[in-house]
Structure 1
């Protein structure tokens, strides 16, 4: 049994041929032909998510883990606009999504019908490919059949090869619910795109081999691309200093894993900060989290910057020399073992180690706070989990702690918004079948509270909610924190808690607000896998910022 509408059948048949199995559907009427077709075919994994904003991020979480496209399907009108936050995140995080938006026939746009807007090219600034399909009344319309076939193929090929979102807008005329026993159409797979690889320019080798201070920055790498042997090779060069971020999924004893911990104590020491200045910068991975390294390399006007990898390159420091489109491990194999004399790596690793040795004394003296909570949490997270990190202060605190090498770490660092963190984590848990723990802040969590409104949350899914009663990161940023407007319009002070939400969505709930309660609550939280768990940890709103800022002063 499938839909009787032929251009809907084309999508369903080509999705099957190309292995697009995961379909996230938001209920509606205009999308009924595709809903009928997908849900009637056991080949597809179909999910019903009512809130399109949450559905978009849920789909992105699945695609993030499977490394292949997930599809979104919605009705006409305002529905597809609610996908836009996920579309932009997928665009900048390079995650394959296929958006299928049902629409009215073209002659019924702007005549006063309800749930009718101008849907074509609605994502124009953040989409890799978009097209509107032709409506097909019968199989004699060969030209339309071929046009649609090419558009659907190109959408799938682009999502896969270019790693990002694509959009097909699909007009349907009533009747929408007619069905047939089976499709009589034949569809073709066509124009599969090939990987693009560039050679390494000779200029790079000349600059690399001559430089005595080479800085390699590893940011978002999902899935991980380096084995220990690769990192051993890269760090064997004494002129190479490697810095990694938490989302790089890289742990190695000769890598600076805490960029802000290294830079913050010396950022206003002209002599020290000048000594860190590299001759050449190489970036590998996605968006860089650390604002301090970005500001530093812009301030000193980095002369040469190469980006290595098949994905998109960003001119983060305004000095991008070239994008070398090849797997980072292949790039490594081309590097010379004839090293220049340098103490660049040794000097800064010793500096970093000195700061690490000071840390325990500082942690012993701080009171219950965000910093103390993150220290306790990262010390005690179980092995072999999928760790999803919320944005804003959560990912920045995480950068201050060395990650467990058995963890796989993800965060929505494309647009770096707070929207969709919970929905993405749940989608990732569904896509990975691995125990997933989300660490998030209160504003992020309440903003995406509809992310809990679905029937697919695994029983071993867990949320650590750090509730400091507002947007705590704004207290860390420059600004007058005692002004009347600050608490309302920046910090967004509130008195909310998650207990009622958890009760409504059948999630086991605990809360704590002090050190002594942590151990007992943690044991229950980690060991109970019979239903989803949420541990809400309250911290004092007005001291968190000072404890973090004092951490950097203490190291200095």
Structure 2
């Protein structure tokens, strides 16, 4: 087994192994060679080589999303680690643990005109939970010491004692900082940054490590909720006749069925779910916008909750945000270990407990239920909306709306669906998916960058059959994601190509002008066929409903390479069909 000769590299790798970081995504470089040598020669790590650092970071994000454990990113010095930033910010807001290990030059070589050097200290600012700059290993060289220390080194024993003492202090500092960073990645479930300076030579190896570390205890995230808080919550809960639960991004199987059933059985509770909530029950209310969008003022007042409880991460629906900001609840509780977002400007309590265990504690202590017709009224609305939805979809022309209706009905059961941002996730929200389909989307920052890379990393880590649906701009923006040797053969990409940023046609603004076409919608004539040829994907295309229904069956058949289906829709008709939808279902 080979080890880098540099003690600092050995320390980083040894502690990464001790903290059970199993996946390491490496982008090529020279300054990070000591880390690359250490990780790739250790069988405890599954290492991946991704050239484009932005893609590498989102690929790692996808792995961490599925494994729920920190994934390490290794890059060289300079602008390389800046390319991680979009994924780091997404990880921060999506509560996904990433560990950035950025190689750096020694301090005396920064800002003197040396190549590939920038100010790397604290480069991610407040978008990481911990940032540290490790100390450079000492060399046994009197020239490295301060002038006023030289006279103390009278003999070789004196010199050696001084050197070993300083090195021991540096080693202790580095071990502590690395451990603190990795502990934060676990406890905060988010990104951390460890900046690692190396002096040349970088490629020398040894067969036996020169350092040893104490095996740490892997930290566990703890809840904070006492009996007094429970009694307060119980009183408010039992006396509220209009309780609304809104669920954002949530991992599959986060809440046991018995608690979901108790929520469903209570007529004073409305449970609004999004596709990314991965909560399914026939008595819940998916498709939030279908309920909210057509309401008038009197109906809004009837829907206004006394108590709002939120689970999970960020929420897609703009309409529920606007509604709850105007018609505020008396109480808003957020349940979860992560940060509580005051999305509706009414947050009154952050219950630091996993939703499953909080509901267990709540329902186990309940003594009575409030009589209410809150849910019954909205069940009738939901039924009418679904009926009108089915009629509308049946008669519309071939557009984005029609395409999503067809695609989502054909996603294989017991599989994973990864969705791109912008219009892709918003269309997906309007449809009910089969309960066996797990849904994920980068909703932390809601950017279009990196969605393809994330989906590939997630598919690799989960080993589940995965479909990724995205828009054309998002796909072409992240096309280097396909420069990846780890894409599973069962991976399927569906690109909705409406020749631009179609969502901007839905938003208010002047349309059908050269300014709009160029700077907002960003019209183009690109297609994905050549990219598929270059990266070795099997290519399909469709431009009408009959062709789509024909190719979709073959698209999901087994293959020796991944497949991509590109669907061309009319750019000038999509917005009209979507906007008319909300008028129709009234």
Same fold? TM cut 0.5: yes
Q: 2:542 aligned with 1:512, yes or no?
A: yes
Is 1:253 aligned to residue 299 of structure 2?
Answer: no
The one of 196, 204, 218 aligned to 2:222: 196
Using the TM superposition, name which of 439-448 and 518-527 deviates more. Answer: 518-527
Structure 1 distance, partners of 2:548, 2:557, is 14
SS at match of 1:517: helix
1:325 to 331, 346, 352: 352
- Residues 302, 317 of structure 1: 8 Å contact kept: no
Is the partner of 2:564 in helix, strand or coil? Answer: strand
Q: In the TM superposition, what are the counterparts of 1:280-291 in structure 2 within 5 Å?
A: 280-291=307-318
The question of 1:169 aligning with 2:199 is answered no
Q: 1:547 aligns with which of 566, 577, 582?
A: 577
- Equivalent positions of 1:420-431 (< 5 A) are 420-431=450-461
Partner of 2:532: helix, strand, or coil? helix
| Residues 357-396 of structure 1 aligned to structure 2 (within 5 Å) | 357-396=387-426
- 5 Å-filtered alignment, 1:66-105, equals 66-105=67-106
Q: Please tell me whether residue 36 in structure 1 is matched to residue 65 in structure 2.
A: no
Q: Paired residue for 1:472?
A: 502
Contact 1:251/1:403 (CA < 8 Å) preserved in 2?
Answer: no
Q: Distance in 2 between matches of 1:433 and 1:509?
A: 22
Which deviates the most, 60-69 or 154-163?
154-163
Misfit runs of 4+, over 3 Å? 189-194
Q: CA deviation at 1:431?
A: 0.9
The structural deviation recorded for 1:104 is 0.5
Tell me, yes or no, if the aligned pair for 1:464 and 1:536 is still in contact at 8 Å.
yes
Displacement of 1:337 after TM fit? 5.2
Q: Secondary structure at the residue paired with 1:35?
A: helix
1:219 to 217, 227, 248: 248
- In structure 2, the residue matched to 1:45 is 46
Q: CA deviation at 1:155?
A: 1.3
- Cα pair 2:32 2:76 within 8 Å, conserved: yes
Give the conservation status (yes or no) of the 8 Å contact 1:224–1:248: no
Contact persistence 1:67–1:95 (CA under 8 A): yes
Residues 24-47 of structure 1: CA deviation (Å, up to 9, x unaligned): 000000000001111111221111
Q: Secondary structure of 1:37's match?
A: helix
Report the aligned-residue RMSD: 1.3
Partner SS, residue 338 of structure 2: coil
Q: Secondary structure at the match of 1:536?
A: strand
| Alpha-carbon offset, residue 223 of structure 1 | 4.0
Distance in 2 (alpha carbons) for counterparts of 1:198 and 1:464 = 43
Q: How many residues matched?
A: 554
In structure 2, the residue corresponding to 1:338 is in which secondary structure? coil
State how far apart, in whole Å, the 2-side matches of 1:484 and 1:536 are: 26
Following superposition, the deviation at residue 190 of structure 1 comes to 4.2
User: What is the aligned partner in structure 1 of residue 475 from structure 2?
Assistant: 445
Contact 2:19 2:216 in 1 (8 A): no
Cα distance in 1, alignment partners of residues 251 and 413 from structure 2: 18
1:157 matched to which residue of 2? 183
Moved more, 138-147 or 430-439: 138-147
| Equivalent in 297, 301, 313 of residue 328 of structure 2 | 301
Shift of 1:184: 2.9
Residue matched to 1:179? 205
Q: Note if contact 1:472-1:544 (Cα within 8 Å) is conserved in structure 2.
A: yes
Mapped to 1, the partners of 2:65 and 2:208 lie a distance apart of: 33
**Secondary structure, aligned partner of 2:308:** strand
What per-residue deviation string (whole Å, max 9, x for no partner) do you get for residues 426-478 of structure 1? 01111111111100000000000000001111111110111111111111111
Q: SS of 2:294's equivalent?
A: helix
Q: Is the 8 A contact 2:495 2:564 kept in 1?
A: yes
**Contact 2:19 2:218 (C-alpha < 8 Å) held by counterparts:** no
Report the CA distance between 1:194 and its aligned residue.
4.5
Deviation, structure 1 residue 536: 0.2
| Cα pair 1:263 1:292 within 8 Å, conserved | yes
Q: Aligned with 1:349: secondary structure?
A: helix
Partner SS state of residue 402, structure 2? helix
User: Residues of 2 paired with 1:301 and 1:219: CA distance?
Assistant: 18
State the TM-score, normalized to the length of structure 2.
Answer: 0.93
Q: Deviations over 1:56-89 (max 9, x none)?
A: 0000000111010110000000000000000000
**Is residue 237 of structure 1 aligned with residue 266 of structure 2?**
yes
Q: Which of the two has higher C-alpha Rg?
A: 2
Partners of 2:577 and 2:100 lie apart in 1 by 44
1:404 corresponding residue in structure 2:
434
Aligned to 1:262: 291
Pick aligned residue for 1:415 from 445, 448, 455: 445
Q: Which residue pairs with 1:134 in the alignment?
A: 135
* d(CA) in 2 for partners of 1:357, 1:161: 46
Q: Distance in 2 between matches of 1:496 and 1:462?
A: 20
- Matched residue SS, 2:545: coil
Q: Structure 1 residue 191: deviation in Å?
A: 7.0
1:116 corresponds to 2:117: yes
Equivalent residue runs for 1:60-71 within 5 Å: 60-71=61-72
8 Å CA contact retained: 1:153, 1:189: no
Counterpart position of 2:302: 275
Counterpart-to-counterpart distance in 1, 2:290 and 2:449: 28
Instruction: Check the 8 A contact 1:219/1:245 in 2, yes or no.
Output: yes
Quote the Cα distance in structure 2 between the aligned partners of 1:518 and 1:192. Answer: 50
Query: What SS does the corresponding residue of 2:271 show, helix, strand or coil?
Result: strand
TM-score normalised by length of structure 1? 0.98
1:296-344 deviations in Å (ceiling 9; x for gaps): 1011233321000112210001111111011212211223251111000
> 1:143-182, CA deviations, whole angstroms, 9 ceiling, x for partnerless residues?
1111111111111111111100000000000000010002
Q: Which deviates further from its counterpart, 228-237 or 94-103?
A: 228-237
Secondary structure of 1:510 counterpart: strand
Distance 1:223 1:162, change over 3 A: farther
